[in-house]
Amino acid sequence: MPRSAYDPLMGLLDRLIGAANRAEQAKTSAELHVFRDRRFERAEELAATGSTGEAVVTGIRRRLNDGTTETQVRLEWRAPEARAGALRFGDDLAPVIRLGATVRVRTDGDTVALDVAAMAGRLGGWTDPGRRSRKVPEQGVDDRSLDARVLSRLRKWPAETAVVVSVEQARVLGMPSQDWDVVVQRADGARATIHRDHVPPYVRWYVHPGAEIPVAIDPKDATRAQGDWPRLAEERAVDGGRWGDPPPEGSLAAG
């Protein structure tokens, strides 16, 4: 092809490619804007403008979804009739969001969001009001996001109650991880360790020295234990509590 014909052709191709890139960028920006509006901005608007009140956490459901943990929280309140709604979060939760506890909310009909501004002093920097979940989970704790090995231990190992002696954050290459070593003392005085376990955020309020927690003990090695975190959450739900309560001293929530 002659050089004189080649140059205009390449210029045209460059302009077409540039236009396509700009169109794709605009499309992507628009999609992200719509996605952001739908999942976050509506919750943030409700958290700022909805009717103020309090609700009780009556259910927590956790599932793995494409390698990440998805958490749904059931809330119940009166306005003035009894209502129930749900919020969706990721893996993490503010420790005040625990089964049986009361939290500050903003509501509009059956739609609810956490009133993060009102609870700012007790959320440890938490700013997510939650995204609306159309499906409201059942009452209680239904956590299938736990490691398969953990679920197997809870099914197969004998269950008992033990007292927490110490908790220490596990480290990887010298850096703190999201796992914990929890040493417990059994009824006979022997000690066992829950080793490098991801303690779910919904029970970190209750894991501290001196606390009684349900565990399962390895029948082949009595020094190995596994915390039964869903059972702990349901057992302690009767304690109630409010969002303004300080976390127990030495607990994972306090840390």
Same domain, 136 and 212: no
Q: Kindly indicate the confidence band of residue 126, based on its pLDDT and cuts at 50, 70 and 90.
A: confident
Structural domain including 189 reads 148-239
Same domain, 110 and 155: no
pLDDT digits (tens, 9 = 90+) for 76-123: 999 889 999 999 999 889 999 999 999 999 999 889 999 999 999 888
Among candidate residues 139, 82, 83, 90, the one with its CA nearest the CA of residue 112: 83
Please give the average per-residue pLDDT across 144-157, as a whole number: 96
Please give the average per-residue pLDDT across 202-230, as a whole number: 98
> Cβ–Cβ contacts within 10 Å for residue 158, how many?
9
Same domain, 111 and 155: no
CATH number of the domain within which 80 lies: 2.40.50
Greater confidence (236 vs 12) lies with: 236
- What predicted TM-score, i.e. pTM, was given to this entire model? 0.81
- Beta strands 102-108 and 111-114 are antiparallel
Structure tokens at 32: 């992200």
Instruction: Tell me if 212 sits within 8 A of 162, measured CB to CB.
Output: yes
Structure tokens at 61: 């459901």
162-172 core/surface letters (b: 16 or more CB in 10 A; e: else): bbbeebeeeee
Tell me, what's the pLDDT at 97? 95
CATH number of the domain within which 214 lies: 2.40.50.140
Q: Does residue 17 have a pLDDT over 70?
A: no
CA 226/CA 217 separation, integer angstroms: 7
Tell me, what's the pLDDT at 34? 45
Q: Does residue 136 have a pLDDT over 70?
A: yes
CA 71/CA 129 separation, integer angstroms: 13
Tell me, what's the pLDDT at 14? 55
Tell me, what's the pLDDT at 6? 44
Range in 5-9, 137-141, 197-201, 231-235 the model is least confident about: 5-9
Mean pLDDT of all residues belonging to the chain = 86
Instruction: Tell me if 193 sits within 8 A of 90, measured CB to CB.
Output: no
Last residue of a domain, one of 143, 168, 192: 143
Same domain, 57 and 113: yes
Same domain, 89 and 121: yes
Last residue of a domain, one of 111, 143, 175: 143
Q: Does residue 157 have a pLDDT over 80?
A: yes
DSSP state letters, 96-147: T--TT-EEEEEEETTEEEE-TTTTGGGTTT-----EE-SSPPPSEEEE--S-
- Structurally, how many domains does the chain consist of? 2
Tell me, what's the pLDDT at 188? 97
Same domain, 123 and 157: no
Tell me, what's the pLDDT at 41? 61
pLDDT digits (tens, 9 = 90+) for 18-66: 554 554 554 444 444 444 445 456 667 766 676 899 999 999 999 998 8
